[in-house]
Structure 1
Amino acid sequence: MKKKKLIKFDIVHPSEYLEQKKKKWKDLDSISAEEYRNRLIKLRSNYSDFYTYHLNKMEDWEAEEFFLLDDTYLFKIAEELFGKSHALRRFRYGYNKRLKLNPRKWRNYVVDKYIQKFKPDVIFARSQPIPSAFWQRYRKHTLLVARLSARLPHAWHPNDWDLIYTDQPDFRTFFELHGVKTILNDQGFDSRVAGELKAGDNNSDIVFIGGLGTENFLNRTLFLNEVAKELENFKWWGYWWKYGGDGRALKDFPALQKTFHGFTSGLEMFQIYRNSAIVVNDYVDTANGIGFNQRIFEVMGSGGFMLTRDAPNLKDHFPMDLFVTYKNKEDFKEKVSYYLQNSVEREKIAKNAQDFIFENFDYTRIVREFSSDLITELQKKFG
C-alpha cells in the first residue's frame, strides 16, 4: 500500500534560543540538510518530531519536519534543491533580478519548491509565520491542516484550512462559526524525552518558563512581577513579547529583569523543570481562565512539581493529586512555603503526575487519533 505523505511546518521557539545554539555549533558549513534537521529535532524544542516520529512508526505514513524562521535550515534546503552555487547567490543577495526575490519571497520560493519535490498528501502547519493565503496554491491536491492554541497569527484566516486542531474551546467555537471542521486535541508529552533527561536532586528554586509582556501575557506578568519582588529564590527563563501592549519593556519591571535568566527551550527547559523545587504555571489572557496549556504537560511529563493557577476545567481532566493549585498571591505564597518544607510530599505528587501523563497523554495515543482523523478527511476530500 502506498504511504500517505505529510510535511509539518514548525519552528524552534524562542528563535533567540536557537541563535545561541548555532553560535556554539562550529560545523554548520559541513553538515547536510538532513543532519541539520536531526540536530534541530534533538533540541526537543516546541513540538520537536512528536507528531512525525509517531506517524513514521505507522505503516500508513511518511512524515517529515520543515523548520521555518531559520535561515540556516532554509539555506541547506536550497542547497539540496538547487545546488550550492545557486543557493549561495540567492542567500547572499536576498534577491534575483529575474525572480525579484526579497528574503521573504526567497523563503516562500524555497518552501514552494520543496513542497513540489516532496508531493505531500497533507500539509500540517503547526506554528509558522507564512500568511495562510500562501497555502491555497496546494489546496486542490493537498489536505491543509493547522493547529492553533495561542493567538491568531498575522494574516491567518480559518477558511484557508480544511481542518483545524486546537485545545482551546473558544477557538473551536470561533472556527466552526466560519464553517471549518475543528477538532479539540490534547497537548501531550513524548515519553522518549524523559529518558533523555539527567537524574538530579531537586534544588530550592521556584521557576517560571515562558513568555511575559503587556499584550496577551499582562495578567501573569503583573502576578509574577509581585512574586519576583517577594521570593528571593524565584527565577524565570523565557522571552518578552515586544509587539503591541502598552509599550512597557522588561526594564520597566525591575524585579522581573533582575530574576531573568535568559532564553531556554527543549531538553534544557525540561531539565530545569525536573531539577527545580516548584514550577509555576499561569495562563495567557486569551485562555479566558481555562487551564490546559502546553506547559502543564511538559512540567508533569518531565517529573517536575507544578503549582498552577486554579481553573474550573482542571478537575474534569486530571486527578487532583498530580499538582497543586493557587487562587491568588497569598494562597500562592502559602503553598510555596509549605511545599518547600515538605519535599517528600512534593516528590510523590510529581511522580503521580509523570505516571499519569505517560499513561494518558503520550504522543503515541495522540498521533494515533490524529492519523485516523487525517485518513477520514483525506477520504472525504479526495475519495
Structure 2
Amino acid sequence: MKHRLLKFDIIHPTEYLDQKKKEWTDLDKLSLAQYRERLIKLRSNYSDFYTYHLNKYEDWTAEEFFLMDDVFMEKVEQELLGNKAKLKRLKFALKKTKRFKVTDRIWHEHLIRLYIAQFKPDVIFVRSHPLPSSFWKRFRENNLLVARLSARLPKRWHPNDWDMIYTDQPDFKTFFELHGVTTVINDQGFDKRIVDELIERPKKHDLIFVGGLGMQNFTKRTHFFNTIAKETDFTWCGYWWRHGGGDGRTLEDFPALAKTFKGSTSGLEMFQLYKDSKIVANDYVDTANGIGFNQRMFEVMGSGAFMLTREAPNFEKDFPPGIFGTYTDEKDFIQKVNYYLSQEEEREAIAKKGQEFILSNYDYSRIVAEFKQDLEREISAVKS
C-alpha cells in the first residue's frame, strides 16, 4: 500500500520571502508546481528535506504545502477552482457569513480543506504552526496528525489535538507525554545536497550571527549580542521579533545591534553566508534551558563553517570534541573570537571536522528513514 503525506510549512523569516517575491518578475507565469519548486530551491527553513527523502521510497508519496504565502495560496486557488475562483469565493462567502466578503484567513483555510480532500493524504505533517491546532483536528478521523515543535508553544495550540509530536526538546517530550500523546525525540539535520549548491570562495566576514533577536524568547541572547556588537567587528542578519510579549523595546532601543544589522536572510543565501565567514556565532533561545542542539548548529557545521557556540551540559554526550569552539560568557566569547581569528589553520581544521561529523551522522536520509518507520508503526497501530 502506498502512503501519502502532505507537509505544511513556511518560508522563514517572512520578511525574506517578501523580498524574494519583489525580485521575481515572472510569478504570474508560474504554475503551482513551478512556484512550489522555486520555494523549495530557496532551501529556507526545512525546504523539502523531509519530503524529498520520503519520496525516495516506493511506498510513499509526499508533497510540500507552504502556509503564510499569499502567492502560493493564489496558485492553489487557481489549480483547484480555475477561472471560476472568484464566483466560488463569493458563493462560499454567502454560505459562510451571509455577506459578500470573507476574510483571506477564512478563505485560505477553506482552500486547505479542498486541497487535502483532493490530495487524499493519510498523514498530515504540520512542521510550522501559524494555524490553531483545532483547525487540523477536524482531519484526524481520516489522517494521522503529526506535528513537530522545537522553539516554543504556539498560540492556540494543544498537544492533545495531535496523534504524534516530534521535538528535539526533552522538556517538551516530558510535557507532551504527560498529556498522553506519543512523542518522539528527533534530530535536527542537514541535507548533503546543500554542500554541492554552495560556492567555494575567500572569506568575506570575520564574525557573524544569523537568527532572531528581540525581547520575547530571545531576551538573553539579545542582551548578549548587544554587548558583543559593541566590542567586536560583528555582523547580524535575521529579524527582530515583533509578535507581542516582551517589554516593548524595539531594535532602535539597542543602537549597537541596529548599527550591525544587515537585513533578513534565509536558505541557501544563509548557508553561503556561513561559508563566507571566519566565525559564526551561536546561542540558544530562552526556552532551550541552556541545551545546545538548535538547528543553527547543524546548518553552520554542515555548511563547512567554523562555529563558536555557548557551552552546554549536553555537549559531552551528544558531540565529539574538536568540532566547534565554545564560550561561557561575553568576556570568554571575545577572547575566543580574537584567538580563532588569529589561528586560521586550526579554525579551518575544526570546521572541516565539524562538517564531516554532521554529514556522516545527521544527514536527512537517516532522519527520514527513522521518520518513515515511526509513521508506518503509528498507521498500523491506528488500523489495528
Specify the TM-score bucket, using the shorter chain as the normaliser.
Answer: over 0.9
1:97 matched to 2:94? The reply is yes
Partner of 1:363: 364
Matched with 1:376 is 377
Matched, 1:17 2:16: yes
Which is worse superposed, 109-118 or 312-321? Answer: 312-321
Q: Does 1:43 align with 2:42?
A: yes
- The structural deviation recorded for 1:85 is 3.9
Determine the structure 1 residue equivalent to 2:68.
Answer: 69
In structure 1, distance between residues paired with 2:148 and 2:172: 11
Structure 2 match to 1:213: 214
Aligned twin of 1:58: 57
Q: How big is the shift at 1:31?
A: 0.8
Q: Look up the match of 2:277.
A: 276
Contact 2:4 2:62 in 1 (8 A): yes
CA separation in 2, counterparts of 1:170 and 1:136? 24
Question: Counterpart of 2:212 in structure 1: which amino acid?
Answer: G
The 5 A counterparts of 1:165-204 are 165-204=166-205
In the TM superposition, residue 202 of structure 1 has moved relative to its aligned partner by: 1.8
| Rounded Cα–Cα distance in structure 2 between residues aligned with 1:88 and 1:196 | 44
Contact 2:51 2:62 survives alignment (8 Å): yes
Is 1:159 matched up with 2:164? no
Could you say what secondary structure the match of 2:211 adopts?
Answer: strand
Which consecutive residues of structure 1, in runs of 5 or more, have no partner in the other structure? none
Report the RMSD for the aligned CA atoms in angstroms: 1.3
2:235 alignment counterpart: 235
Conserved 8 A contact 1:322-1:352: yes
Offset of residue 382 of structure 1: 1.6
Q: CA deviation at 1:89?
A: 7.6
Shift of 1:76: 0.3
Residues 93-117 of structure 1: CA distance to partner in whole angstroms, max 9, x if unpaired? Answer: 9983333331111110010000000
8 Å CA contact 1:94, 1:103 repeated in 2: no
Structure 1 residue 296, shift from structure 2 partner: 0.3
Deviation at 1:135, TM superposition (A): 1.1
Q: Deviations over 1:285-334 (max 9, x none)?
A: 01011110000000000011000000000121111210000001111111
Equivalent residue, structure 2, for 1:150: 151
Deviating more after overlay: 334-343 vs 200-209:
200-209
**CA contact under 8 A between 2:327 and 2:336: conserved in structure 1?**
yes
Checking the alignment, whether the CA contact within 8 Å between 1:74 and 1:107 is kept in structure 2 is yes
Closer, same or farther: CA 89–206 of 1 in aligned 2, 3 Å:
farther
List 4+ stretches of structure 1 deviating above 6 A.
none
Q: 1: distance between equivalents of 2:40 and 2:342?
A: 38
Partner residue in 1 for 2:294: 293
Aligned CA distance change for structure 1 residues 94 and 316 (closer, same or farther; 3 Å): farther
SS of 1:83 mapped into structure 2 = helix
CA 1:88–1:351: 2 relative to 1, 3 Å: farther
Aligned residues: 379
| Secondary structure of residue in 1 paired with 2:29 | coil
CA–CA separation in structure 1 for the residues paired with 2:198 and 2:186:
26
Pair 1:360–1:88, CA change in 2 (3 A):
farther
**Alpha-carbon distance in structure 2 between the residues aligned to 1:204 and 1:98:** 57
| Residue 163 of structure 1, CA deviation | 0.3
Give the conservation status (yes or no) of the 8 Å contact 1:95–1:103.
no
TM score, norm. by length of structure 1: 0.97
Secondary structure at the residue paired with 1:29? helix
Deviates more, 1:75-84 or 1:371-380: 75-84
Tell me, yes or no, if the aligned pair for 1:235 and 1:261 is still in contact at 8 Å: yes
List runs of 5+ in structure 2 lacking aligned partners.
none
Identical aligned residues as a percent: 61
The whole-number CA distance in structure 2 between the counterparts of 1:165 and 1:336 is 35
Q: Name the SS of the counterpart of 1:247 in structure 2.
A: coil
8 Å contact 1:204–1:340 — kept in the other structure?
Answer: no
Deviation at 1:60, TM superposition (A): 1.7
In structure 1, C-alpha distance between the alignment counterparts of 2:207 and 2:224, rounded to whole Å: 14
Per-residue deviation, 1:25? 0.6
CA distance in 1, matches of 2:43, 2:347: 26
Conserved? CA contact 2:206–2:341, under 8 Å: no
Q: Which amino acid aligns with 1:99?
A: K
Output the CA distance in 2 between the equivalents of 1:204 and 1:168: 32
TM-score normalised by structure 2 residue count: 0.97
- Look up the equivalent residue of 2:245 and give its one-letter code: G
Greater mean deviation of Cα atoms: 94-103 or 131-140: 94-103
Superposed counterparts of 1:126-145, under 5 Å: 126-145=127-146
Q: Deviations over 1:61-117 (max 9, x none)?
A: 000000000000011011000113415884xx9983333331111110010000000
Aligned residue runs from structure 1 range 72-83, under 5 A: 72-83=71-82
Aligned partner of 1:346 in structure 2 is: 347
Deviations 1:166-219 (A, max 9, x none): 000000000001010100000000000111011111234200000000111000
- Give the Cα separation in 2 of the matches to 1:273 and 1:145: 32
Displacement of 1:374 in angstroms is: 0.2
* CA distance in structure 2 between the aligned counterparts of 1:212 and 1:338, rounded to whole angstroms: 26
